[in-house]
Amino acid sequence: MKIEFHSTKAWPASGTWLIPLAAWPGKGKKLDGLLAQLEKASSGALSRHIALQDFRDGGSKLCEIALAGGKLPPRIVLVHVGEAAALDAGACERVGARALGQAKKTAEPLHLWLSELGGAPVKDDELAARMALGAQLARYRFTRYKTKATKKNDWQPQALHLHTAAATRAKSCFAGFAALADGVALARDLVNEPANVLSPPDFARRLRAALSPLGAEVKLFGEKQMRALKMHALLGVGLGSQHESHMVVMRWRGARARNKKPLVFVGKGVCFDTGGISLKPPGGMEAMKGDMGGAAAVSGLLYALARRKAAVDAIGVVGLVENMPDGKAQRPGDIVTSMSGQTIEILNTDAEGRLVLADLLWYAQKTWKPEFMIDLATLTGAIIMSLGQEYAGLFSNNDELAERLLAAGVRESELLWRMPLCKNFDKMIDSKNADMKNIGGGRNAGSSTAAQFLQRFANELPWAHLDIAGVAMGAPPTATNKSWGSGFGVKLLDGFVREFYESK
């Protein structure tokens, strides 16, 4: 979809005009701004339409008006978006998504007029760019396996025209958001792909093909290389699969100062999770094609940073495995030695994601000594029991890092809720037979004991763990996402990097 930004001076006479309003023009109220100009050009027809539709303050949310003649657009849609003071970044994106919904009703060009939203907390250029981002996110559909096209799935608007007094600056601002939208789309594609198409080697090759042309460094590690690194916790998960496990390291070197520590993002990439020997129940197992949502988010983030040439040194590390039952698969009771040298007793082979992350976290901190590490994983069903599908769980050993992530989550409408870590939870993963076990005390504090397990591989380095099991796949549809795979984490972390770490 083509996105264009225009000044408010030119009046296109064709197409549909969508005019978001912070305050209703209500019956009997004097019109001002753009509405006053339309009232004059229509010889009073606009106010008569408003009166006929009983367009009350706080009543109707949408008013469609048909005008004719001269320079007037044939169709005007007035949309109430609430108080201007509440029109934050997320609300702007939702307005853009609603605009896309209106575009479906007509084959005519759609013009989104933003001159009536003064007083919003975001600047004019970002307001327009965020609305365009919302439209881009909302248009995503995963239909590549549909052999029979339908109007609903086939429809794609050709262009969206945004009219703002800050057109030039908005166009520049949107360049970064367009890259972000493509990063989210990449993450959604990866989560939506079936596991027979996206095996660990396929995933690794796709990342190299997507990121290398953008100037990012992409290195693929196979099982032979990971055995040399003694990554036996990660490798143990994939023993039952016919597909080779992989680690992929993606690096974008955009920081202006070369002496800065890199930022490291780590993703769990279990391309399909049967539970292994500790086999999952069959009901709903098809959703386990999305158990690589953390790796998808990290991949989408690195794509977005490289695409928009972000002024930051960022590294993404993803572990790609398939957890299958087989004669070669690891068993409950097995003990493996992680890259750190710490031993792990496997009590449940379905607690596999933490084994993958353990070796990735250790590798990352020892290789780069980064500013921080943030891992993302569809790690526990327990987090869904705690937070539903509205929040991702945040665990961290560093208050400043946690607060920054929480703030970015609010701004980007990808919400986090901080969950506890404590010594008593840590004791729950002690093992009589090894340094630790891979599950804690049964059903109690499942998400926290999983995070405590990961913390043993982060040491004292600033670290945060995002358990995205409830939000990465199958979450309720939103204005900007109707897809099963949400791409959660890409917007959050892109905004987090942009606000707190990117060179200005």
Cβ contact 153:141 at 8 Å: yes
**Using one digit for the tens of pLDDT, what is the confidence trace for 216-254?**
999 999 999 999 999 999 999 999 999 999 999 999 999
Of 29, 205, 280, 309, the active-site residue reads 280
Of 206, 268, 289, 354, the active-site residue reads 354
pLDDT value, residue 44 = 86
CA distance 114 to 96: 11
Radius of gyration of the chain (CA): 25
pTM of the predicted structure, to 2 decimals = 0.95
Given its phi and psi angles, is residue 156 left (phi above 0), alpha (psi -120 to 50 degrees) or beta? beta
CA atoms within 13 A on the CB side of 262: 20
CA distance 401 to 404: 5
Could you confirm whether 354 is annotated as catalytic?
yes
Burial of residue 126 (CB within 10 Å: 0-12, 13-18, 19+) is buried
Beta strands (DSSP E) in 276-391 are: 313-323, 335-337, 343-345, 372-377
Could you confirm whether 258 is annotated as catalytic?
no
pLDDT value, residue 54 = 58
Cβ contact 368:264 at 8 Å: yes
Cβ contact 200:238 at 8 Å: yes
pLDDT value, residue 268 = 98
Determine how many CB atoms are found less than 10 A away from the CB of residue 124: 19
Q: Which residues of 150-170 are buried (b: 16+ CB within 10 A; e: fewer)?
A: eeeeeeebeebbbbbebbebb
Burial of residue 107 (CB within 10 Å: 0-12, 13-18, 19+) is exposed
Beta strands 463-467; 392-396: pairing state: antiparallel
Which portions of the chain are predicted below pLDDT 70?
26-28, 53-61, 69-70, 103-107, 149-157, 504
Closest CA to 220 of 208, 232, 234: 208
Burial of residue 87 (CB within 10 Å: 0-12, 13-18, 19+) is buried
Backbone angles phi, psi at 214, to 5 degrees: -90, -5
Please name the amino acid found at residue 318: V
pLDDT value, residue 55 = 52
Task: Give a three-class secondary structure readout of 74-126.
Answer: CEEEEEECCCHHHCCHHHHHHHHHHHHHHHCCCCCCEEEECCCCCCCCCCHHH
**Using one digit for the tens of pLDDT, what is the confidence trace for 287-322?**
999 999 999 999 999 999 999 999 999 999 999 999
CA distance 255 to 305: 11
Averaged pLDDT score across all residues of the chain: 92
DSSP count for the chain of H helices, then E strands: 16, 17
pLDDT value, residue 149 = 65
Determine how many CB atoms are found less than 10 A away from the CB of residue 208: 15
pLDDT value, residue 77 = 86
Which structural domains are found in the chain, ordered by start? Answer: 2-166 (3.40.220.10), 178-500 (3.40.630.10)
Element (H, E) at 8: none
Burial of residue 330 (CB within 10 Å: 0-12, 13-18, 19+) is buried
Cβ contact 487:185 at 8 Å: yes
Residue at token pair 């853009």: 96
Altogether, the residues listed in the chain come to a count of: 504
Please tell me what DSSP assigns to residue 433: S
Burial of residue 194 (CB within 10 Å: 0-12, 13-18, 19+) is exposed
Angle value at C-alpha 462, between 456 and 466, nearest 5 degrees: 75
